[in-house]
Amino acid sequence: MSFVMKLNQDDQILIIGGGIAGMTLAIALIELGFTQVRIFEKNLTPEVPKVPINLGTNVLRILDEFQLAEQGWQIGIPWNQMSIRTKSGKVLNDLDFSRLVITKEHFPMTANFARLHRILWEKLPADIFTYGEEFISFTQNDKEVEAHFLSGKSVKGNLLIGTDGFGSRVRLQMLGSSEVRTFHRTSYEGIIDLGKLESTNFEAFHKPFIQYHDKSASFSAAPVSSDQIGVSFSIPYDGDTPRSVSTIKELLPGMFEGWVEPISEIARIAAQGNLFAWEEKDHKPIKVWSQNRVILTGDAAHSSFPFMGIGMSLTMGSSVYLAKMLHENMKKVEKGIKLFEKNRSKATAEFNRFAERNASMFNWKQPLAGTLRNMVYQFLPDGYTESPVIKMMNTTYMGTAVVETSSLSEKDPDSASTQNLPPNE
């Protein structure tokens, strides 16, 4: 199907998935003047898990453009150093990130994911969200696209944008199945109260993001607020199978026994609280993210192995860029979509390769390989944080949405859907 697609600012834009990509896209589109933006989310409420999330500087830049910088500073704690250590606490390298902090407003940080989600949610009008609608398929012709939901409901629009994450149904229908790449590891993540720890002088409370590595498992920690710390235990599968959270809670204290304190203490406390499993996996980069009126962005288009805040930076950057390309090419939408695909798929593939290489270093299980990895860490040059990829991730993102107006109003705190809000922390 080939046709010239035009877009008006009052055309219906259907966004599938109310995660960070969907909400970032909706904010940018509305700021750019689109009036009929709707988000369909399969979950019944906007609640998301409280997990620590590392954010590259770009995230703060985008929040700043959305006039959310002040709220952004409240969702986490900036760090300007990353310390890499062995399980016994020997420092392999202390990487200085302060040079990446270009202004006082934009910095890498560890945040509470639920808080990031919440400030974006609060920026949007409550009535654009429809919760409890699970998208199953789309149909399209040269005039419109129609989304079909598990409930039996169907909704027509001019564009449909899949922001439904890693297991995207939009992507599946558009591209067929995609190979999932994994090094057979899971991160078990949680946020624990500082008050529960005896070791109040743990350095991660004070600013650096700290990682500790054994030959196969690793642990990282960073503060997310003045009285909470985000922790992550990265553990290989049991053979070919990820371990469930309940299994890992039983194993965690034993697995981290003998690591330098307070790691074993943290492992005991974390095992008593809420932990969430994050499969470390990605999709091999692809170049096609659209099919006529249907477009992908966020993890649905480009997922990455975890690496210093890459996922969120790419997700938010792509969504803002897509909004801008649609706005700038309303008379010839195909051109905007092609520019989005071309520019973002090239950039995200570069980060993806970098993250995949980094992830592969964690998969070395033989003692010799672990020693080699630690040597690599030890000899990372001082200027490593200014390498092109890290710098690009932290100092630029491709395309900006010019936020000229403050057209989005604060939500009415008494409006019906605020009853679905995640509880205040």
Ligand X SMILES: Cc1cc2nc3c(=O)[nH]c(=O)nc-3n(C[C@H](O)[C@H](O)[C@H](O)COP(=O)(O)OP(=O)(O)OC[C@H]3O[C@@H](n4cnc5c(N)ncnc54)[C@H](O)[C@@H]3O)c2cc1C
List of residues contacting ligand X (CB under 6 A)? 16-22, 40-43, 51, 53-54, 134-135, 163-166, 169, 189, 276, 278, 298-300, 306, 309-313, 315
Shortest Å distance, C-beta 121 to ligand X: 11
- Tell me whether strands 129-131 and 36-41 are parallel, antiparallel or unpaired: parallel
DSSP conformation letters of 171-207: HHHHH---PEEEEEEEEEEEEEEGGG-S-TT-GGGTS
Residue placing its CB nearer to ligand X in the complex, 113 or 215? 113
Q: Minimum distance from CB of 164 to ligand X (Å)?
A: 4
Instruction: Give the residue with the Cβ less far from ligand X, 5 or 248.
Output: 248
80 vs 110, beta carbon nearer ligand X = 110
Q: Least distance to ligand X from the beta carbon of 294, Å?
A: 14
DSSP calls for 358-380: HHHHHT--SHHHHHHHHHHHHT-
What is the smallest separation between the CB atom of 166 and ligand X, expressed in angstroms?
Answer: 6
Spatial contact of 119 and 128, defined as CB atoms under 8 Å apart: no
Residue 134 Cβ vs ligand X, minimum distance, rounded to whole Å:
5
Residue type, 155: V
Nearer to ligand X, 48 or 92 (CB): 48
User: From the CB of 295, what's the least distance to ligand X, in Å?
Assistant: 13
> What residue type is 267 in one-letter code?
A
Residue 247 or 405 having the CB closest to ligand X: 247
Strands of 135-140's sheet in order across: 135-140, 145-149, 154-157
Q: How far is the CB of 318 from ligand X (least distance, A)?
A: 9
User: What Rg value do the Cα atoms of the chain yield, rounded?
Assistant: 22
**What residues have CB less than 8 Å from 244, skipping those under 6 apart?**
277
Q: Considering the complex, state which of residue 149 and residue 205 has its C-beta at the smaller distance from ligand X.
A: 149
Measured in whole angstroms, how far is the alpha carbon of residue 7 from the centre of its chain?
Answer: 29
Pairing of strands 209-213, 154-157: unpaired
Closer of 20 and 255 to ligand X (Cβ): 20
| N-terminal to C-terminal alpha carbon distance within the chain | 50
